[in-house]
């Protein structure tokens, strides 16, 4: 009996198409039936510990300095800490490329993951500056500039005949900063922040949301449960938003970004020491990176601009295979969705609390993808869905500001070995039905804000 050769896994094809031969080799090793658990572990975590490389340099010029009142700080503790330590501008406004590089250098976030997060950050950035500056927090003062939010709705107006004396179109929105990117970069059910339409503030850390996460880690001494613990907290926060936020919205982009940001805590902020090469996330480490402290009476408190990398911090190893990128992220996302299926719930409330109405992903993508498709263990459907969704949601921008976006695509292409230029999905998604989102008041309200 002849055995039909097994087709190459989709993720392997993706890695090869991207020119990522090192990651592709790693994937082949992982796919071998003979590869045991010890070998799998040794592939992603080194057998030897490199003190000089992994110990975080906290000396000058990267010592911690509390953010001042005029410095920009926003909803992402990782970016806030990079600014507080001077790995990006301490002002909180820096270029797309510098932010991507710093995320890789300090936290060892893989370049592909860093670039993807950076592209989302451009929703609050300035596309008229070739360096693509982004405020990680509040809206910058130079309000004559523009970001993707303005570009989607008015970049086509950047014709010389329509520009004002400054050279910018009056109908193009100014860069908002990451604080003001609700349902684009920032969304509901954050691990530690309040939903925007509950508190009118989605960037200030809420101790009442951080404390349950700390409690989960304090109660579980099994360091291998880190992804499971943060997944449980993410699921609890989604349930809390459904129960308390009539404008809760959890669309396709929000679902992916929510999982991605939730998994950063155990993956990037953990201590990869000689004793714990797999990484260990402590309560003290979480409090430091989130900028939280205990008052004398034991209450959890937070001060703006106090996010700090722990004094004793060992980052992930520098080697490519150990960085937090697709081969590690995809299994983590799938583990989250398996343990807590509610984290894969697409949809939103209909204006009142506890009125969650699911979004039919099959209808939304005209039959290209279902939720079950995204759960497939090889991860290819998930990659393709996200990749094509971004392409579809920004067609006008891509078509009308070629010179500006060429800068973005060139930077990302160089950092990701040409993924954007060579990757072809085996299951094409020609379009999505955006009108299906109009039933969700939370989405409609955030969309109206873009128009202002």
| pLDDT greater than 70 at residue 249 | yes
Higher per-residue pLDDT: 314 or 170: 314
Does residue 61 lie in a domain region?
no
The reported pLDDT for the residue numbered 410 is 55
| pLDDT greater than 90 at residue 289 | yes
| pLDDT greater than 50 at residue 322 | yes
Output the CA–CA distances (angstroms, integers) from residue 299 to 204, 207, 210, in the order listed.
Answer: 17, 9, 12
Does residue 20 lie in a domain region?
no
Kindly report the CATH number assigned to the domain that includes residue 185: 1.10.489.10
The reported pLDDT for the residue numbered 411 is 54
| pLDDT greater than 50 at residue 22 | no
The reported pLDDT for the residue numbered 230 is 96
Whole domain around residue 378: which residue ranges?
Answer: 67-451
Three-state secondary structure readout of the chain: CCCCCCCCCHHHHHHHHCCCHHHHHHHHHHHCCCCCHHHHHHHHCCCCCCHHHHECCCCCCCCCCCCCCCCCCCCCHHHHHHHHCCCCCCCCEEEHHHHHHHHHHHHCECHHHHHHHHHHHHHHECCCCCCCEEECCCCCCCCCCCCHHHHHHHHHHCCHHHECCCCCECCCCCCCCHHHCECCCECCCCCCECCHHHHCCCCCECHHHHHHHHHHHHHCCCHHHHHHHHHHHHHHHHHHHHHHCCCCEECHHHHHHHHHHHHHHHHHCCECCCCCCCCECCHHHHHHHHCEEECCCCCEEECCCCCCCCCCCECCCCCHHHCECHHHHHHHHHHHHHHCHHHHCCEECCCCCCCCEECCHHHHCCCCCCHHHHCCCCCHHHHHHHHHHHHHHCHHHHHHCHHHHHHHHHHHHHHCCCHHHHCCCCCCCCCCCHHHHHHCHHHHHHHHHHHC
Q: Are 413 and 420 in contact (CB under 8 A)?
A: yes
Instruction: State mean pLDDT over 229-240.
Output: 97
Does residue 202 lie in a domain region?
yes
Does residue 217 lie in a domain region?
yes
| pLDDT greater than 80 at residue 81 | yes
Residues 172 and 151: their CA atoms lie apart, in Å, by 7
What is the dihedral sign for C-alpha 261, 267, 268, 271? positive
**pLDDT tier at 6, thresholds 50, 70, 90:** very low
- Which of 118-127, 264-273, 354-363 shows the lowest mean pLDDT across its residues? 118-127
Tens of pLDDT, residues 35-47? 444 444 555 555 5
Domain count, the chain: 1
CA dihedral 228, 231, 232, 235 (to 10 degrees): -160
Does residue 114 lie in a domain region?
yes
Output the CA–CA distances (angstroms, integers) from residue 12 to 27, 31, 323, 374, in the order listed.
Answer: 7, 10, 18, 17
Does residue 438 lie in a domain region?
yes
Does residue 149 lie in a domain region?
yes
Determine what percent of the chain is predicted with pLDDT higher than 90. 40
Tens of pLDDT, residues 108-163? 998 777 766 666 555 555 555 656 677 887 777 654 344 443 333 333 223 333 33
Instruction: State mean pLDDT over 328-350.
Output: 94
- How far is Cα of residue 187 from the mean position of the Cα atoms in its chain? 11
Does residue 56 lie in a domain region?
no
pTM: 0.79
If you average pLDDT over each of 95-99, 275-279, 299-303, which comes out highest?
Answer: 299-303
Average predicted confidence (pLDDT) for the chain: 76
Joined together, the tokens standing for residue 314 give: 């060992």
């Amino acid at each position: 009996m002849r055995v039909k050769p097994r087709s190459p896994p989709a993720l392997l094809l993706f890695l090869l198409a991207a020119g990522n031969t090192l990651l592709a080799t790693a994937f082949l090793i992982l796919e071998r039936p003979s590869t045991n658990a010890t070998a799998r572990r040794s592939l992603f975590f080194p057998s030897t510990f490199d003190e000089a490389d992994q110990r975080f340099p906290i000396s000058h010029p990267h010592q911690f300095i509390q953010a001042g009142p005029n410095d920009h700080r926003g909803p992402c503790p990782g970016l806030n800490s990079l600014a507080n330590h001077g790995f990006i501008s301490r002002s909180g406004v820096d270029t797309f490329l510098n932010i991507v590089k710093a995320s890789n250098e300090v936290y060892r976030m893989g370049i592909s993951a860093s670039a993807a997060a950076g592209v989302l950050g451009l929703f609050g950035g300035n596309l008229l500056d070739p360096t693509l500056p982004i405020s990680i927090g509040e809206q910058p003062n130079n309000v004559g500039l523009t970001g993707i939010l303005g570009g989607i709705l008015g970049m086509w107006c950047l014709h010389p005949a329509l520009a004002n004396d400054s050279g910018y179109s009056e109908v193009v929105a100014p860069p908002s900063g990451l604080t003001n990117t609700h349902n684009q970069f920032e969304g509901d059910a954050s691990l530690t922040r309040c939903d925007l339409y509950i508190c009118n503030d989605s960037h200030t850390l809420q101790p009442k949301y951080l404390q349950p996460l700390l409690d989960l880690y304090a109660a579980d001494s099994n360091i291998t449960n880190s992804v499971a613990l943060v997944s449980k907290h993410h699921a609890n926060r989604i349930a809390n938003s459904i129960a308390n936020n009539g404008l809760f919205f959890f669309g396709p982009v929000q679902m992916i970004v929510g999982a991605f940001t939730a998994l950063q805590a155990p993956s990037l902020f953990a201590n990869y020491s000689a004793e714990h090469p797999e990484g260990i996330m402590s309560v003290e480490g979480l409090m430091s990176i989130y900028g939280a402290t205990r008052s004398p009476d034991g209450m959890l408190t937070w001060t703006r601009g106090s996010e700090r990398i722990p004094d004793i911090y060992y980052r992930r190893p520098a080697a490519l295979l150990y960085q937090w990128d697709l081969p590690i992220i995809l299994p983590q996302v799938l583990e989250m969705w398996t343990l807590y299926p509610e984290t894969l719930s697409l949809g939103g409330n209909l204006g009142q609390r506890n009125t969650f109405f699911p979004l039919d992903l099959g209808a939304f993508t005209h039959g290209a993808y279902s939720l079950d498709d995204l759960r497939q263990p090889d991860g290819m459907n998930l990659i393709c869905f996200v990749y094509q969704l971004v392409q579809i949601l920004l067609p006008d921008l891509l078509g009308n500001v070629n010179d500006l976006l060429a800068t973005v695509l060139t930077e990302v292409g160089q950092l990701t070995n040409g993924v954007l230029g060579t990757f072809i999905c085996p299951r094409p998604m020609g379009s999505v039905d955006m009108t299906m989102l109009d039933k969700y008041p939370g989405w409609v309200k955030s969309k109206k804000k873009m128009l202002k």
